[in-house]
Amino acid sequence: MRIGILTGGGDCPGLNAVIRAAVMTAELRFGDEVMGYLDGWKGVLEGAYRRLDVPGTRDILPEGGTVLGTSRTNPFSVEGGGERVAENLRELGVESLVAVGGEDTLGVANRLGGHGIKCVGVPKTIDNDLSGTEVTFGFDTAVQTATDAIDRLRTTAESHHRVIVCEVMGRHVGWIATYAGIAGGAAEILVPEVPFELEEVCERLRRRHAGGQFSSIVVISEGALPAEGPDADSARFATASSAKDQFGHARLGGIGAWLADEVEKRTGFEARVTILGHIQRGGTPSAFDRVLATRFGVAAVEAVHDGAFGMMVALRAGDIVRVPIAEAVATSKMVDLGLYRDVAGVFLG
């Protein structure tokens, strides 16, 4: 059988581990041939691909990024895109496709089912916001990177008696902020799921510093905002960007700088901001992510051979299972508020 594979959306550590595992499983276990489409859905739309084989992918396991390249191309944003994708796959004799991506990439895979394209999904994103799976690969590495950064910020914050705001990724969800904030012992963790009251944040910092603690780390997701009102308006104004990708997502960033500014103005504490940005997406995957990505890669090819199209491989209670892609992309997986309030909440302020 000829199988296609693509990696779409923001890159993340572990993509190469999936590619390697899928190629090795397909070739060695099933005698398949694997075509790697370049730059996500763009490659399928434009017929850009390269043959992948065991010798060429055997050693890519620890490499960050994706050897196939990626993009945020949405084939449905162009006239007749779905038909072009179907035509290109047919021409190359690709019978089924393994799509490795987040909600956007897998949303396309789900829609292409309606064009007769047989897809199996693999969940990736450092944000960990895909439903249907307990965790996506890439998240563990990103949390470790953010935690390492917080540890470093702490010592300089302590030396200078400063508030340091650390802005982490997380467009709609605060998984990275919550995990790295707990792991790094942050004084405040601000996430998109729970709009914050700026004055309450400042008051907790004042109390903390009055109690003898002269420095604080505040972790904030890029998508977090104050509760509705003048502070939210001012934050939105300061962080607004007109740039949007083909899936309609605005480019985020800047809430950390806005917050550091407000904290300094309102409390008089010297404040600084560090935006971790794409550092969280780069570099070699953690052991956990390598193992999870490898299991997903093997399971995806098995799903192809079982004819489990329209399904995504997922992790549940330690097992790799299959869930409908439609279910995985229907809603974002929000931060567990029990964890946020009952665990993180104990240590905040």
Q: Which of 8, 9, 43, 107 binds ligand F6P (CB under 6 A)?
A: 9
- Binding segment toward ligand F6P, per CB under 6 A, in 43-51, 164-172, 267-275, 313-321: 164-172
Token pair, residue 110, equals 């789900």
Is 171 an interacting residue with respect to ligand F6P (CB under 6 A)? yes
Find the binder of ligand F6P among 170, 192, 285, 297 (CB under 6 A): 170
Among 32, 39, 103, 127, binds ligand F6P (CB under 6 A): 127
Question: Considering the complex, what minimum distance in angstroms separates the CB of residue 138 from ligand F6P?
Answer: 8
Look-up of token digits 């796959």: 89
| Contacting residue, 25, 96, 125, 294, with ligand F6P by CB under 6 A | 125
Q: Is 27 helix (H, G, I), strand (E, B) or coil?
A: helix
Number of H helices, E strands in the chain: 15, 11
Among 169, 304, 313, 325, binds ligand F6P (CB under 6 A): 169
- The residue from 104, 127, 231, 289 that is catalytic is 127
DSSP 175-233: HHHHHHHHHTT-SEEE-TTS-B-HHHHHHHHHHHHHTT---EEEEEETT--BPTTHHHH
Q: How many residues bind ligand F6P (CB under 6 A)?
A: 13
Closest by CA to 162, choosing from 307, 258, 263, 246, is 263
> 272 to 301, contacts with ligand F6P by CB under 6 A?
281
16 or 96, CB closer to ligand F6P?
16
Q: Count of CB atoms within 10 A of residue 270's CB?
A: 15
Binding mask 238-257 for ligand F6P (x = CB under 6 A): -------------xx-----
Provide the 3-class DSSP secondary structure of residue 145: helix
Write down the least CB distance from residue 2 to ligand F6P, Å: 29
Q: Distance between CA 303 and CA 55 in Å, rounded?
A: 24
- Angle, CA of 334, 292 and 324, to the nearest 5°: 55
Among 126, 255, 257, 312, binds ligand F6P (CB under 6 A): 126
Render the burial of 329-338: b for 16+ CB within 10 Å, e for the rest: beebbbbeee
Closer residue to ligand F6P in complex, CB, 84/249: 249
- Minimum CB separation from ligand F6P for residue 194, in Å? 18
User: Closest separation between CB of residue 127 and ligand F6P, Å?
Assistant: 5
Using CB under 6 A as the binding rule, whether residue 20 contacts ligand F6P is answered as: no
Q: C-beta of 283: minimal distance to ligand F6P in Å?
A: 14
Q: Which two tokens stand for residue 123?
A: 């969940």
Stretch that binds ligand F6P, among 122-130, 295-303, 324-332, 336-344 (CB under 6 A): 122-130
Closest separation between CB of residue 245 and ligand F6P, Å?
A: 6
d(CA 323, CA 315): 10
| Residue burial 121-144, b: 16+ Cβ < 10 Å; e: rest | bbbbbbbbbbbbbebbbbbbbbbb
Rounded distance between C-alpha atoms, residue 54 and residue 234, angstroms: 54
* Residue 66 lies near ligand F6P (rule: CB under 6 A): no
Q: Based on CB atoms, which residue is closest to ligand F6P, 154 or 171?
A: 171
In which residue are the tokens 């038909």 written?
83
Among 10, 69, 181, 297, binds ligand F6P (CB under 6 A): 10
Structure tokens that stand for 194 in this block: 């729970």
- 261 included as an active-site residue: no
Residue written as token pair 């998508």:
223
Query: What residue has token string 């705001």?
Result: 165
Query: Which is closer to ligand F6P, CB of 126 or CB of 313?
Result: 126
Distance CA 87, CA 54 (A): 27
Q: Which residues are catalytic?
A: 127
Provide the binding-site residues for ligand F6P, judged by CB under 6 A: 9-10, 72, 125-127, 169-171, 222, 251-252, 281
